[in-house]
Copies of this chain bind each other. A is one copy, B any other.
Amino acid sequence: MAALWQDRPVGLVGLGLIGGSLGLDLQAAGADVRAWVHRDATAARALERGLAQQVSTNPEVLNSCGLVVLALPLDQLMAPDPALVGAIPEGAVVTDVGSVKAPVLAVWDQLTPRFVGGHPMAGTAQAGVEAGQRGLFLGRPWVTTPAAHTDPEALAAVRQLAEVVGSQPISCPAEAHDRAVALISHLPVLVSAALLEAADQGAAGEEQGLVRALASSGFADTTRVGGGNPQLGTLMCRWNRQAVLNALRHYQRQLDTLMAAVAAEDWPALAAKLEHAQQIRPPFLKTPS
Contacts and interface: CB of A to CB of B under 8 A. Distances in A.
A185 to B, nearest CB: 6
28 contacts: A122-B216, A123-B216, A140-B216, A141-B213, A170-B210, A170-B214, A177-B210, A179-B203, A180-B214, A183-B211, A184-B211, A184-B216, A185-B216, A185-B219, A187-B198, A190-B255, A193-B254, A196-B284, A197-B254, A201-B250, A215-B285, A221-B222, A226-B277, A227-B281, A229-B278, A233-B271, A234-B274, A248-B255
Copies in the complex: 2
B210 A270 contact: no
Q: How extensive is the interface on chain A, given as a class?
A: 35 or more
A265 B241 contact: yes
Contact of A285 (B198, B220, B253, B273): B220
Contacts of A7: none
Interface string A170-203: 1010001101111111011111111111111111
Given A199-B184, A238-B267, A189 B274 contact: yes
Interface in A269-289: 270-271, 273-278, 280-281, 283-286
